[in-house]
């Protein structure tokens, strides 16, 4: 039997169940979901105040105590520093975009000044304010059902991650998929992380079968950018990488966009870059990810030089750490 650790939320159970089903299909083994409560569960305290790893640490503790064989995380919940004794695989990525769910089927362009939009994400708040539409951003926490339930009550709309909405089957309520040109997503949004002990060769082999090297490379680029900017940084940060088969044999094309902004929307620094990277197939997935990460760090340096460094030096009382959850 293979024990898969998961948080107990509706979304976590849905996405962990998908992974468990795939493991069972690949191995023919019986798979059991083991629910583990994390520090971030059951609290209304803003995630930015709870700190990094609050949805991850207890799952990792269970891995280290060998109470579970594999842990499933939303990748954007993971701290950027990866423990050497744990290894992560990245299944094919879901839609990374943000979406709007608004009353009466409205889109952002239908909402006027004063419209109340629920989100506690500094990244989303900065980009909404940068539109100059006079929206009121209302801090909101809770599970997806709770957030959507406030639409048409005290909120005109909420912004959430498309992947989470689809994984719990509520995509019919989406009123607009937000173009990344308007709302660049969080690094690793839509990606799952399947984590196991490196020393557990059986679980490591199983998780490696789930890995998609293009998704792994995209997430590596985005998180490398975030890691470089998090050195003393608590400004809103966004990143999205597209990785696809290149025009030349043995190459993949990487297109990476990154942004850092002031939460009031007064300044948004946006840059992008492209790179052609060598691709040696699944056997070279880690090398491809390492090269993609180098591109992410380079774009972060460009953002700093373009003015993002000034945003990172804002007084701490006016900054918050970007760690939103859906």
Active site residues: 77
DSSP string, 126-183: HHHHHTTS-PEEE---S-HHHHHHTBTTTBSEEEEEHHHHHHTT-GGG--EEPPTTTS
Dihedral sign for Cα 141, 43, 77, 125, please: positive
Q: Pick the closest to residue 18 from 144, 166, 150, 135 (CA basis).
A: 166
Tell me the β-bridge partners of 257.
240, 272
CB 20 within 8 Å of CB 207 = no
Closest Cα to residue 56, out of 99, 90, 6?
Answer: 6
Asked whether 30 and 56 are in contact (CB, 8 A), the reply is: no
Distance CA 158, CA 111 (A): 12
Alpha carbons 35 and 52: distance in angstroms, whole number: 21
Instruction: Give the full edge-to-edge strand order of the sheet including 116-118.
Output: 136-138, 116-118, 157-161, 98-102, 176-177
Q: Can you spell out the DSSP letters for 269-318?
A: EEEEEEEEEE---GGGHHHHHHHHHHHHHHHHHHHIIIIIHHHHTS-GGG
| Pairwise CA distance, residues 51 & 60, whole Å | 16
What φ, ψ does residue 49 adopt, rounded to 5°? -85, -20
H or E element that contains 240: strand 237-245
Q: How many helices (H) and strands (E) does the chain have?
A: 10, 13
């Amino acid at each position: 039997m293979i024990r898969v650790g998961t948080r107990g939320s509706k979304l976590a159970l849905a996405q962990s169940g998908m992974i468990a089903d795939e493991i069972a299909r690949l191995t023919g083994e019986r798979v059991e979901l083991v629910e583990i409560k994390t520090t971030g569960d059951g609290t209304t305290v803003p995630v930015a105040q709870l700190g990094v790893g609050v949805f991850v640490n207890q799952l990792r503790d269970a891995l280290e105590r060998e109470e579970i064989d594999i842990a499933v995380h939303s990748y954007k919940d993971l701290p950027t520093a990866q423990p050497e004794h744990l290894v992560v695989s990245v299944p094919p990525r879901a839609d990374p975009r943000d979406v709007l769910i608004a009353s009466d089927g409205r889109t952002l362009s239908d909402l006027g000044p004063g419209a109340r939009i629920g989100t506690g994400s500094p990244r989303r708040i900065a980009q909404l304010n940068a539109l100059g539409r006079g929206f009121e951003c209302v801090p909101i926490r809770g599970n997806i059902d709770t957030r959507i339930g406030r639409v048409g009550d005290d909120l005109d709309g909420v912004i959430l991650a498309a992947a989470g909405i689809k994984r719990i089957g509520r995509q019919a309520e989406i009123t607009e998929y937000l173009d990344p040109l308007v709302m660049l997503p969080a690094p690793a949004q839509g990606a799952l992380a399947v984590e196991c002990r490196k020393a557990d060769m059986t679980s490591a082999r199983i998780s490696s079968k789930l890995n998609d090297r293009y998704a792994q490379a995209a997430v590596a680029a985005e998180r490398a950018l975030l890691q470089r900017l998090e050195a003393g940084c608590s400004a809103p940060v966004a990143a999205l990488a597209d990785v696809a088969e290149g025009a030349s044999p043995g190459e993949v094309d990487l297109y990476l966009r990154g942004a850092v902004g002031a939460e009031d929307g007064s300044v948004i620094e946006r840059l992008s870059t492209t790179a052609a990277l060598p691709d040696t197939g699944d056997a070279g997935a880690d090398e491809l990810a390492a090269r993609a990460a180098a591109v992410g760090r380079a774009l972060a340096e460009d953002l700093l030089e373009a003015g993002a460094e000034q945003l990172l030096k804002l007084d701490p009382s006016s900054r918050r750490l970007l760690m939103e959850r859906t």
